[in-house]
Amino acid sequence: MASFQDELGTLLRGVDAIAALGAALKLHALGADPHPDVPLRTALQHLVPSGVEEVDPKTAGFLSKLIIARLAEAQDFLAKPDRGPGWSQVVSPLMHAMGEASRMVPHHMHALAATRPGLAAALRGRMLDVGTGIGALALEALSLEPTLQVVGLDIWPEALAEAEARRRESPYGDRLELRNEDVTALTETSAYTLAWLPTPFMPRPVAEAALDRLVVSLQPNGWLVTVTFAIPADPAGAAIGRLRLLRAGGYPWTAEELSGALQARGLQEVEAIPLGPTIMFIGRR
């Protein structure tokens, strides 16, 4: 039987491996090479035999930010092991990392829209970005579609202050409106063609209340897009997945539960689409 230290050594090699992969993706995104005295390519041959070159450089950049965000989550856990569920209102390295990683989301939406004309039309209208944070997702969405307007909601003034600074500096900032507003208090009706809800950071009662308000806020044929972390099937992976979700302040939805929550509110064409470590859900009002 392996000793505790043997098990620890195996887990630590996994940390080294994901850091090496993140570094390779970042270098690929930048069009740069590792230092000649650092055998990153040799290590990568054992980790990902196909290499990272087949990944589009822009996608590689997003994936490297995803890895940075996951490592920032781990560092936050180590620094604050006694912290309860949820997030600090301080704009922290973790919030920055998660914000940058969220820039992938609009690209996933556009990829899905390529075969869903209704979703494509929604992406050209008015979008509600719930939990906009530092505004990274909203500004990325605006960069992809010149007619899109975005309203970003958040309840943390510190995050909104940074989002406002980014909005002022962005060439797309004139199409972004930021509000200090709780989505569960949203009163707008038939106002948006698209709404984004990040459920991994919401307790189930809050997510349920948010869904109630968002469905009403959508125009007829408007689309709701949400996501949850994928929970692995193996016992160890499932335990760690639940731990991560609950510490983030969320609820470990199953695909059936979240799809059912959308359908119960009258949404049609509901789909659950696996996207690596997450599952994206879409539905049309």
| 151-196 confidence digits (pLDDT tens) | 999 999 999 999 999 999 999 999 999 999 999 999 999 999 999 9
Q: Are strands 192-198 and 218-229 parallel, antiparallel or unpaired?
A: parallel
* Per-residue model confidence (pLDDT) at position 92: 74
Q: Which of 1-5, 173-177, 252-256 is least confident?
A: 1-5
Residue 219 in this model has a pLDDT that exceeds 90: yes
| 19-55 confidence digits (pLDDT tens) | 999 999 999 999 999 999 999 999 999 988 888 988 9
Q: What is the mean pLDDT of residues 214-236?
A: 95
* Per-residue model confidence (pLDDT) at position 88: 62
The CA distance from 221 to 211, in Å, is 16
* Per-residue model confidence (pLDDT) at position 253: 92
Q: What is the mean pLDDT of residues 225-252?
A: 91
| 102-121 confidence digits (pLDDT tens) | 999 999 999 999 999 999 99
Which residue type, as a one-letter code, is found at position 74?
Answer: A
DSSP annotation of 231 reads P
Q: Which neighbouring-strand residues pair with 272?
A: 281
Compute, in degrees rounded to 10, the torsion defined by CA atoms 267, 271, 275, 279: 60
C-alpha distances out from residue 89 to 71, 77, 111, 184, 285, Å = 20, 16, 33, 18, 33
DSSP annotation of 52 reads S
DSSP annotation of 62 reads H
* Per-residue model confidence (pLDDT) at position 85: 87
Residue 90 in this model has a pLDDT that exceeds 70: no
Q: Which residue ranges form the domains of the chain, and what is each CATH number?
A: 4-69 (no CATH), 93-284 (3.40.50.150)
Residue 89 in this model has a pLDDT that exceeds 60: no
* Per-residue model confidence (pLDDT) at position 69: 87
In sequence order, which ranges of the chain are alpha helices (DSSP H)?
Answer: 4-30, 40-47, 57-79, 93-101, 104-113, 117-122, 136-144, 157-169, 204-217, 235-247, 255-264
The CA distance from 250 to 258, in Å, is 13
